[in-house]
Amino acid sequence: MKIAYRSHILRRMMGYLSLSIGIGLATPMSYALESAEANPALTPSPTLAPIDPLSPVVESTPPTEPAVPEVVLAPPETPFAKQLAQQLAQPTVILKTANKTLQSVEQQKQLYSHRAYNPVWTNEHTLTAQGKALLNTLAQAELEGLNPEVYSVSLLQRLTTQYPNTLEALAELEMLYTDAFLLYGSHVHDGRINPKTVNKEWYIAPEIPWDGVSALENALSSAQPMDAFLASLPPPHLEYARLRTALKVYNDYLKTAGDWVTLPLGKKIQPNERSPQIKLLRERLRFSGELTDESKRTDEELYDNKLVNAMKSFQIRHGLADDGVLGDSSRKMLNISLAERIEQIKLNMERWRWVPRDFGEQYILVNIPAYRLDVYEHGKRIYDMKVMVGRTDRNTPIFTEKMTYLVLNPHWGVPYSIAVKDILPKLRKDASYLSRQNMRVFANGTELNGQAINWSQVSSSNFPYQLRQNPGDGNALGKIKFMFPNKFSIYLHDTPKRSLFGLNDRALSSGCIRVEQPLNLASYVLGNSDKWNKDSIQKAIQSGKHRIVNLDQPLPVYLLYWTAWIDDEGTMQFRDDIYQHDERSLQALTKLQVVARK
């Protein structure tokens, strides 16, 4: 759905749903932390005076210099602190008011023992500023693609409204808030699932897991707002912030207008043809924003130029060939429901929690499902190019390493899997294939005569050879190879099959990344200096000599997997889940939701 983030469509949508969207202007969040609010000690009394637990709280003014965190190891002194310490000292903490067993006992012991068991979220009659900020954040967890009820929001709201009047119940409420904070923080910071358990091609090493206790202690000992601290927990990336805004728009749209119509599969409809289905297409593209002013339209069933252009816009932002033809590939994309798109956005938000929070000042990012390489400097994309990625049976893995050198006029050491799966069957039919492809055969470092080998007697389980293709016009790596050493032997490279960049679906390689503009990329990574620029690189290639050129500084390369994002023009983009990573992640999250309901 293009809740199309261009200004003229924004104005139309804002009038339709009274929404205000500013995705294109979003910036990464940078927030401060909140100071600890002094918590009044409880006095032992049978009942506590009723005071509105959600009354307004005046935030303190942040000091010029943040306070240095201190760990207080002192015994509990107040009646409430003693009650909290007593309950946390039990081997199993059963919360009677919630009818559940506390899962975060050890973390809570660590937190409260450092603060003499003084409460964080509650005091004698009401929630503290911290408690109110947390409850508000949890109630809006849906904005982060999370389910508020996973964090017991309804229960917390009910118990807070009917504020406890005994020390035991108040201690349970305090522990419930801490439990919810730790779980929410872990989910929104690190993700709900471990990517390696659902994606065998995910090899980005996780950062140090979020330490909720230390994070909260630091927040409480600084003089900064708690709501800002909580808002700093999600990924700080601009792309995540854009998806979050899109998620709200999509959810509001679904609640307000319902889902869009679907189109039955059938014969292709060309521009300027007439069909009853065109009326449905008009309704569908009006709903998602591609089709706007139709005040001069007279024929509902004519596939006119305005509707064709709207269809092309839809095709472009869904990774389809923008031919304007209404065929089944376009119908299937049109028929993906709004609810499914919402889940797709959530999955990509989850995936942003699995990557480093800082990609660096300068880096290369390959989005595998988009078949695109982007170059970034200081958080801004400076240029991009098409790429080809691994086939669906030879997936490009998801990982990051640093590019350190490139190779001009490279040899190609044929990987074993390609040698036995792709080349061996050809050699069995014609041994001259090697000479035609400028390939050589080695065994234990010794070159052999490939024509003299009886390839019909060689099998994948009995293949003691190494194949190497010499540099040249037909070399599978083209004229340039970009190396970021890794255990997968994956790299970026040129290709002699340049016509394939004209294809729409480019999952065509055996795992490596073929780049559309190798000369431009080489000039960029080498600094475009007097020594290495397009002309000097081209001359070095024309010499035919195999040459290694080191980069002055290592350059991070990220091979990632995004099927939903908002581009710099503010347009929502979706792509096919070519490796079924979304599907597996959705299955895992669905299982978690089932367990949570139980």
Query: Which residues are part of the catalytic machinery?
Result: 493, 512
Please give the backbone phi and psi of residue 521, each rounded to the nearest 5 degrees, phi first. -65, -40
Angle at 345 between CA 340 and CA 347, to 5 degrees: 95
**Which residues are bridge partners to 573 per DSSP?**
565
Complete DSSP assignment for 542-598: HTT--EEEEEEEEEEEEEE--SEEE-TTS-EEE---TTSHHHHHHHHHHHHHHHHH-
* N-term to C-term CA, the chain: 34
Let me know: does 102 contact 108? Beta carbons within 8 Å: yes
Antiparallel, parallel or unpaired: β 439-443 and 446-448: antiparallel
Determine the residue type at 250: Y
Nearest to 96 by CA among 185, 161, 184, 164: 164
CA distance 270 to 308: 9
Let me know: does 190 contact 234? Beta carbons within 8 Å: no
Helical spans, DSSP H, in 358-498: 416-418, 424-429, 433-436
Determine the residue type at 207: E
CA distance 170 to 159: 9
| Helix or strand holding residue 560 (H, E) | strand 547-560
Tokens of 208: 């140090």
Neighbouring C-beta atoms of residue 513, cutoff 10 Å: 23
Nearest to 352 by CA among 239, 242, 199, 185: 239
CA distance 251 to 592: 21
The 3-class SS string of 88-157 reads HCCCCCEECCCCEECCCHHHHHHHHHCECCCCCCECCCCECHHHHHHHHHHHCHHHHCCCHHHHCHHHHH
Please give the backbone phi and psi of residue 385, each rounded to the nearest 5 degrees, phi first. -155, 160
CA distance 386 to 372: 5
Let me know: does 193 contact 206? Beta carbons within 8 Å: no
Helix axes 153-161, 167-190, angle to 10 degrees: 150
Nearest to 403 by CA among 480, 483, 329: 483
Burial (CB < 10 A; 0-12, 13-18, 19+), residue 418, is: middle
CA 350 to chain centre: 6
Antiparallel, parallel or unpaired: β 513-515 and 507-509: unpaired
